Amino acid sequence: MPRFAANLTMLWQDLDPYQRFEAAAADGFRHVEMLFPHELDEERLAKALQDLELEMVVFDPAPGDWAGGERGLLALPGREEEFATTLRDAIELATRIGTSKLNALVGVPPAGVSSDQAHATALANLHSAVPLVNEAGITLLVEAINNIDMPGYWASTVARAAELVAAVDDPGVRLQLDQYHAAMAGEDPLECLRTHFPLVAHVQIADVPGRHEPGTGSMPIADFLRELDVLGYAGFVGLEYRPLVDTESSFVWMRTMDWEQN
């Protein structure tokens, strides 16, 4: 049975960020994830996780100027030192709160930067990150994000993200496979999972279209979850979806979908 992690960026959006931790615990979750916890007060964040007996399994380092349209620094030439700084800061926070995985957003290369330049920059940054994450006992993740939701994102397919991970060839760098982004990019999430499973260290799900909870779209998410079990996946499945109506009702699928391995 997959271990689900509630995504506190997507779920309970009617609550303030700290109340979302309480809501997750009240609904029986023991594992959570979110995008940018560095935006929260570190002391209050650490206390919430400890008091509620929650584990944050993954979060994203600072992505650059998000309000200005930046979506990560990994593949941005000339920003290498800034990437390294955000990674060090994220490792420090992760060590403080007990998080073992960090998802480094690849980014949208600015005009004038070729795909080859973006690739070379991302690869160099990952190689430089390896000793940092290995020393800290943390796994650095690379995620594909589709170009419909995030135009210009360089690692727009699972195949491209997996190629980066494979090229680094170190257990400290692994793949975050988001079933929703794979489907939106025109890939088959099940085939992506089977092909790249040895590289996968974290998984997220949402239905297509809409990015709502499983059962609201056309994706065979039950098959995807069963395949995780067949392949022996031991990590977490992040619920990174926007509830169609509200968060509480969005959990009905867990009780009604025939996803458990027979």
Residues near 14 by beta carbon (within 8 Å), at least 6 away in sequence: 246, 247
Q: What is the mean pLDDT of residues 27-42?
A: 97
Instruction: List, for residues 202-220, the tens digit of each pLDDT value.
Output: 999 999 999 999 999 999 9
pLDDT surpassing 70 at residue 81: yes
Q: What is the mean pLDDT of residues 8-28?
A: 97
**Do the beta carbons of residue 122 and residue 75 sit within 8 Å?**
yes
Q: Is residue 211 part of a domain?
A: yes
Confidence band for 62, pLDDT divided at 50, 70 and 90: very high
Question: What CATH number did the domain enclosing 115 receive?
Answer: 3.20.20.150
Residues classed as catalytic: 143, 240
- Give the total number of structural domains in the chain: 1
Q: Is residue 185 part of a domain?
A: yes
Tell me the H-state helices in 137-220.
158-168, 179-184, 189-196
The predicted model scores a pTM of 0.96
Q: Is residue 92 part of a domain?
A: yes
Q: Is residue 103 part of a domain?
A: yes
Residues near 159 by beta carbon (within 8 Å), at least 6 away in sequence: 144, 187, 192
Q: Is residue 122 part of a domain?
A: yes
Q: Is residue 224 part of a domain?
A: yes
d(CA 117, CA 109): 9
Instruction: List, for residues 103-129, the tens digit of each pLDDT value.
Output: 999 999 999 999 999 999 999 999 999
**Do the beta carbons of residue 62 and residue 84 sit within 8 Å?**
no
d(CA 8, CA 232): 26
Q: Is residue 50 part of a domain?
A: yes
Q: Is residue 261 part of a domain?
A: no
CA 69 centroid distance within chain: 19
Q: Which secondary structure element, helix H or strand E, spans residue 3, and what is its range?
A: strand 3-7
Range of the domain at 224: 3-256
Q: What is the mean pLDDT of residues 175-201?
A: 98
